[in-house]
Amino acid sequence: MRRSSTFLYSMLCFGYAFLYIPILVLMVYSFNNARLATVWGGFSTRWYSALLENSQILDAALLSLEIALVSATVATGLGTLAALGLNRMGRYRGRTVFTGMIAAPLVMPEVITGLSLLLLFVSLQELTGWPGSRGANTITIAHITFSMAYVAVIVQSRLAAMDQSLEEAAMDLGGRPYAVTLDITLPLIAPAMAAGWLLSFTLSLDDLVIASFTSGAGASTLPMVIFSKVKLGVTPEINALATIIIGIVTVGVVIAGWTMLRQQRQLANQQAR
């Protein structure tokens, strides 16, 4: 008994160490004074100030955020509409096919998605003259395309789990279909839409492959800049940037967790009363 629990405990530590030590090392090295990323040369914050002066990285970060915000928002809208169309419009011809097709982008290799979108943009330009140049707009469209599928799948599963008699009850009480969607359906699928938005935002912020294919000269997202810099050797500036991103994410997760805990406690208190 004792032996096996020691074994399990050490495996647990090993697993978490494997996950988090690289991140910790990266964070520690962001305060490295040396120019080389792999040799410790004393504590310093010089790479943070260097980062603030590096307009290339900052511009790329802003562009990435912009693309992520726009694409996540549009994808949530379109994905929700798709889910409603697949789940709440009764049975119609081709529904099963459409349901299957909406999930396809999830399993499609990114390289193929990226390449096919590039081909689409190029031939569109030849045929219609639009898009004049590839850049932020084409990346945004590409990100909307695949994020939409994720949103649709998440919202759809929420809709499928929802008691459909809620909507029928609203209709029975005099709500026209449009009003029922606004009054009942949307508030109830809002959590799924939020989850879809967050996932789309993360996917867009994270994406390198599709952005590389669909971008043109002049528009580089943060992952693209980092990746091109790494090819020339990692500079501690990137460590600093990574540390800042990790910091933001950690704060976000802690706040979200804390709010959820508080809500649960409130609910428990109300029920106990």
Q: Which range of residues in 3-11, 79-87, 151-159, 166-174 is near other proteins by CB under 8 A?
A: 166-174
Q: Is 271 in the site for other proteins (CB under 8 A)?
A: yes
Q: How far is the CB of 190 from other proteins (least distance, A)?
A: 9
Q: Is 77 exposed, middle or buried (0-12, 13-18, 19+ CB in 10 A)?
A: middle
For other proteins (CB under 8 A), the number of binding residues is 20
Q: Is 107 in the site for other proteins (CB under 8 A)?
A: no
Q: How far is the CB of 108 from other proteins (least distance, A)?
A: 36
Of 97 and 173, nearer to other proteins (C-beta) is 173
Of 95 and 229, nearer to other proteins (C-beta) is 95
The sign one gets for the Cα dihedral 159, 160, 161, 166 is positive
Of 36 and 169, nearer to other proteins (C-beta) is 169
Q: What tokens appear for 270 in the block?
A: 């109300």
DSSP annotation of 183: I
Of 10 and 164, nearer to other proteins (C-beta) is 164
Residue 173: phi and psi, rounded to 5, are -90, 10
Q: Which range of residues in 32-40, 99-107, 167-175, 202-210 is near other proteins by CB under 8 A?
A: 167-175
Measure the CA–CA gap between 204 and 221, rounded to whole angstroms. Answer: 10
Q: Is 170 in the site for other proteins (CB under 8 A)?
A: yes
3-state secondary structure of 164: coil
Give 61-66's long-range contacts (Cβ < 8 A, gap of 24+). Answer: 61/222, 61/241, 63/136, 63/219, 63/220, 63/221, 63/222, 64/204, 64/205, 64/221, 64/222, 64/223, 65/205, 66/136
Q: What tokens appear for 70 in the block?
A: 């726009």
Q: Is 110 in the site for other proteins (CB under 8 A)?
A: no
Q: Is 194 in the site for other proteins (CB under 8 A)?
A: no
Q: Residues interacting with other proteins, by CB under 8 A?
A: 163, 165-166, 168-176, 179, 183-184, 187-188, 267, 270-271
